[in-house]
Amino acid sequence: MNASKIKFSAKGLLRRFWPTALFLIALIILYFFHTQFDLSYQRELVEDGQWWRIVSGQLVHNNFAHLLPNMAALVLCRLLLIAGCSEREFIFHLFFCTVLTGVLIHILLRSYDYYLGISAVVYGMLFVGAVTLIRARHYWAWAVLLILALKLMRDYFAPETLAGVAARIGVPVAVEAHFVGVLAGVLIMLCRYAMVRALRESRS
């Protein structure tokens, strides 16, 4: 009985969250592709016409120590958003945040000649998720925003605390990119608010 319930539950979860599962599998596949073909964001190559690197650079990682924590953070983000965001909305926001974060990094962080990893997107998604939950009256999500802000401030003002992380992942921790990811999240929520407001006004 218990085994059948577990099997049914797992099947139900897969049916409900298969787009997120597919995205996570894609990250693993892209990791192995990246070991053979460099898919990272490289400013010089982007300016030479390889614009796809703006997106691919957000999706590839330097090693498994870089990839796995980011995948875990995405899963945590999805779990936090179960109460306030459908799977379709989550994937839409994830796609939009990935593209927007890449574009903003290219425009705003002129000192970034090389970048890879989805961590900035995760920061943006955590912001989107927290605000979505707060608007749905899940006020405990204020704690998520507070933790997010404290983490950003600590990383920015005490970068020495990231030395161990940088050693594990084999690249410097891109703290400024994390701020850009949150900015992407802010812009997504502003766009979402403007669209909802415009829709309401058109119906009134």
The reported pLDDT for the residue numbered 11 is 67
- For residue 62, the model assigns a pLDDT of 95
pLDDT of the residue at 80: 83
197 contacts 135 by C-beta, under 8 angstroms:
no
Q: At residue 51, does pLDDT exceed 50?
A: yes
pLDDT digits (tens, 9 = 90+) for 58-91: 999 999 999 999 999 999 889 888 877 889 989 9
142 or 10: which carries more pLDDT confidence?
Answer: 142
Q: 163 Cβ partners below 8 Å, 6+ apart? A: none
Residue-level pLDDT at 13: 67
Res. 8 pLDDT band, cuts 50 70 90: very low
**What is the chain written as a DSSP string?**
-HHHHHHHHHHHHHHHHHHHHHHHHHHHHHHHHHHHS--SEEHHHHHTT-TTHHHHHHH--SSHHHHHHHHHHHHHHHHHTTTT--HHHHHHHHHHHHHHHHHHHHHH-TT-SEE--SHHHHHHHHHHHHHHHHHTT-TTHHHHHHHHHHHHHHHHH-GGGGHHHHHHHSS---HHHHHHHHHHHHHHHHHHHHHHHHHHHHH-
What are the structural domain ranges in the chain? Answer: 18-203
pTM score, whole prediction: 0.89
pLDDT of residue 149 exceeding 90: yes
Distance CA 72, CA 122 (A): 10
Do 136 and 83 contact (CB within 8 A), yes or no? yes
- What pLDDT, in 10s, does the model give residues 105-131? 999 999 999 999 999 999 999 999 999
pLDDT of residue 131: 93
Give the Cβ contact number of residue 29 at 10 Å.
Answer: 10
Please check whether residue 118 is in contact with residue 58, taking contact to mean a CB–CB distance below 8 angstroms: yes
Q: Is the model's pLDDT at 143 over the cut of 50?
A: yes
Average pLDDT, the chain: 90
- Residue 99 CA to residue 81 CA, distance in Å, equals 20
Looking at CATH, the fold of the domain delimited by 18-203 is given as Rhomboid-like fold (1.20.1540)
Report pLDDT digits (tens) over 195-204.
888 888 777 6
